[in-house]
């Protein structure tokens, strides 16, 4: 808790001492938590029974009287100057929340630890962004988050064991507040690097897709892309690449016609846009295949042998391309394996959530036919937003 309660420092801490509240969410060892809180000079609030992260944050929020409140999970380690870059955003009265970048607490050995260092589900990447459905960063985790108390009046949803932070952020955005992602502020997180724990957590993230989609309709599709590109790729996978090329050519011609009043280079521009869009759609379909549709694709591949090679290529292409772009300190095979395990585990959770909530909406794509802007166009909760 030293990173929370520290006073002014030369790196730009926001002020002389912060009031810290520790919420014990019905832990099995309350004495140890009480001792740690007392040593840090923090106020302790104990819940008799565990209510989950949403309930714990709401308990702390109810005791806050300052205009701003910083939520920090117990497995996070803030640096000495993590708040200053976030607080600068609150000079804008429209900003309701700001989030730091979540990075690995320490460098560990092993392929899974290396994967988490470069593709943690909590790391939203190196670029600053506004946060909302359809933006480059669609959500930020609640592991570390600074919120304007006025904006947080509704609190966190307490009946969601995971995804409650995404729901909170989207409700703020829906109410008109601006949310900022600020990677210049960094908070270290103790990532799960044991395979069993890691896979279970990825599955848990997937279970949030259905309740989030029910609370925020249209925000959690399996993927979002041009319908023309989707049909072209489906034709190619089905063994009709000529039909796929014809569809892409027809879409290019129609797009060129629409661009003609705007530019003299309508055909080159249409060809460039259609080509880039089709390639991007193939990558998105491959990710959706791993994160949503493989329980359907697997029996199809078993029943129809000619589907096996194109489906396998579509499945493997996104992590291979991602490895080439990132050049992480991992062998390509290890990275591809970790990425596919990540996606498969998430998919199990998506299906569990859909069955529990009796909805298939997170398994269906969002397609548009002419507009290049649709929401949501960003990644789904539970994965690295900057990498998809």
Span 28-51, pLDDT tens digits: 899 999 999 999 889 999 999 999
Range of the domain at 140: 2-192
Q: Which of 139, 170, 192 is the last residue in one of the domains?
A: 192
Residue 44 lies inside a defined structural domain of this protein: yes
- In the chain, alpha helices (H): 2-5, 30-39, 52-62, 83-87, 111-119, 164-174, 195-207, 209-215, 227-237, 241-259, 266-288, 294-303, 308-326, 332-357
CB within 8 A of 35, min separation 6: which ones? none
| 153 pLDDT more than 90 | no
Average pLDDT over residues 155-178: 97
Q: For residues 328 and 118, is the Cβ–Cβ distance under 8 A?
A: yes
Q: What DSSP state is assigned to residue 330?
A: S
| 56 pLDDT more than 90 | yes
Model confidence pLDDT, tens digit, residues 244-288: 999 999 999 999 999 999 998 999 999 999 899 999 999 999 999
CA-based torsion, 9, 74, 208, 387: positive or negative = positive
Neighbours of 288 (CB within 10 A): 24
**pLDDT score at 212:** 98
Claim to verify: residue 272 and residue 342 sit in the same structural domain: yes
Residue 245 lies inside a defined structural domain of this protein: yes
Claim to verify: residue 173 and residue 68 sit in the same structural domain: yes
Claim to verify: residue 28 and residue 170 sit in the same structural domain: yes
Residue 63 lies inside a defined structural domain of this protein: yes
Considering the chain, what is the average pLDDT of its residues?
91
Share of the chain above pLDDT 90, in %: 82
pLDDT band, residue 80 (cuts 50/70/90): confident
Q: CA nearest 260: which of 272, 273, 247, 270? A: 270
Per the structure, how many domains does the chain have? Answer: 2
Question: What are the backbone dihedrals phi and psi of residue 147, each rounded to the nearest 5 degrees, phi first?
Answer: -130, 140
Give pTM, 2 decimals.
0.89
């Amino acid at each position: 808790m030293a990173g929370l309660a520290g006073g002014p420092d030369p790196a730009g801490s926001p002020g002389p001492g912060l009031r810290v509240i520790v919420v014990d969410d019905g832990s099995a060892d309350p004495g140890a938590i009480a001792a740690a809180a007392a040593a840090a000079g923090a106020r302790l609030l104990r819940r008799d029974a565990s209510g989950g992260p949403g309930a714990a944050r709401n308990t702390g929020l109810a005791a806050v009287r300052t205009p701003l409140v910083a939520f920090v999970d117990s497995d996070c380690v803030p640096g000495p100057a993590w708040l200053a870059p976030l607080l600068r955003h609150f000079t804008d009265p429209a900003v309701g929340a700001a989030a730091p970048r979540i990075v690995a607490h320490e460098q560990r050995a092993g392929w899974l630890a290396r994967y988490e260092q470069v593709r943690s589900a909590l790391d939203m990447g190196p670029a600053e962004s506004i946060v909302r459905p359809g933006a480059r960063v669609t959500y930020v985790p609640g592991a570390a988050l600074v919120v304007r108390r006025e904006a947080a009046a509704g609190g966190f949803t307490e009946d969601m064991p995971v995804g409650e932070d995404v729901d909170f952020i989207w409700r703020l955005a829906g109410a008109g507040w601006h949310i900022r992602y600020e990677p210049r502020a960094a908070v270290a997180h103790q990532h799960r690097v044991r395979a069993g724990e890691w896979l279970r957590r990825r599955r848990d993230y997937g279970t949030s897709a259905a309740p989030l989609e029910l609370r925020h309709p249209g925000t959690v599709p399996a993927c979002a892309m041009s319908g023309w590109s989707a049909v072209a790729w489906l034709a190619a996978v089905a063994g009709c690449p000529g039909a796929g090329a014809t569809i892409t050519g027809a879409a290019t011609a129609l797009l060129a016609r629409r661009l003609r009043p705007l530019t003299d280079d309508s055909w080159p521009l249409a060809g460039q846009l259609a080509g880039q869009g089709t390639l991007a759609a193939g990558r998105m379909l491959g990710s959706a295949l791993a994160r949503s549709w493989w329980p359907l694709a697997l029996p199809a591949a078993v029943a129809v042998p000619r589907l096996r090679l194109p489906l396998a290529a579509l499945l493997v292409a996104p992590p291979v391309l991602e490895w080439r772009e990132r050049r992480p300190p991992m062998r390509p095979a290890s990275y591809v394996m970790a990425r596919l395990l990540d996606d498969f585990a998430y998919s199990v959770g998506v299906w569990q959530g859909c069955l529990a909530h009796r909805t298939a909406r997170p398994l269906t794509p969002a397609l548009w036919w002419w507009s290049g802007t649709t929401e949501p166009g960003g990644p789904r909760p539970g994965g690295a937003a900057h990498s998809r």
